[in-house]
Structure 1
């Protein structure tokens, strides 16, 4: 387990680099306006610049690194397994189904979601084999990790405008 625990933050940042580089230019282009005209939700809608989006990604990376370090140093991988499951669910439900398939167009993050989902699933299966958690512990781990990750992401999206104003204040 100690060898694979660090793959979670690594795969996360590989995926989020695509979003950091392309999300705001894509959001500001005509592409989402054409595709999302009938829908009230536009991906990356609360982030108005790359800098504010990067702050959110940095916080998520720090959280995943701390969870991985906790598992590495204590041998308790329950929360790490939950965050890995939450990451897999995010890649599938948000990127592959929620945006790319529903809107039938490229949305930043879709390519690396597909590419990182496969190793994440393999790591999850390997961790299940190595940890041999009882079903109740597995369910609690996945539920806890998913709830914490979802609440964290919701808070970060709500703070998008705050991050934008904070970054902009440096140059006024």
Structure 2
């Protein structure tokens, strides 16, 4: 398990760089998405590259922090939380692939999702042997996934607020 732990934050940042670099261009090139998919409008109404970078940085902190702690402390509970983060990231890649299929076009995040998904699946399989999937550990995995979902919601809030401030012409 130890040899895979630090790969998680590397995969995260590799993938999210594609999102930071590409989504501004993608939204400018595809303005019809906002009228066709109202949820996109709500989630990205004040999108800025700077806001996206802030959200990615905020999301990176738990991935990096838990991975470092698990690597250096070699603690079973941290390994279990790490596994939950790996499951979260794997699901994130699947969602992006699904979004691209639904939209019938490339979206910034597709390329790295296609590259990283098989790596994550392999990591899940290789590290599962080192964990015991008893009730407590399954609950910890579910808890870590829920916490990451809440963190993603918070990161989107930060992105929205930061973008709104950047678009506001009046200085504060």
TM range (shorter): 0.7 to 0.9
Give TM-score scaled by structure 1 length.
Answer: 0.86
**Which of residues 31, 40, 56 in structure 1 aligns to 2:38?**
40
After superposition, where does 1:150-169 map in structure 2 within 5 Å? 150-166=149-165
More helix by share: 2
Q: Aligned residue pairs: how many?
A: 166
Root mean square deviation, CA, Å: 2.2
- The question of 1:58 aligning with 2:57 is answered yes
CA contact (8 A) 1:32 1:42 kept: no
What stretches of structure 2 of length at least 5 have no aligned partner? none
1:25 alignment counterpart: 25
What stretches of structure 1 of length at least 5 have no aligned partner? none
1:128 alignment counterpart: 128
Cα distance in 1 for partners of 2:31, 2:139 equals 37
Give TM-score scaled by structure 2 length.
Answer: 0.86
String of CA shifts for 1:67-89, please: whole Å, max 9, x gaps. 10121122220110000001111
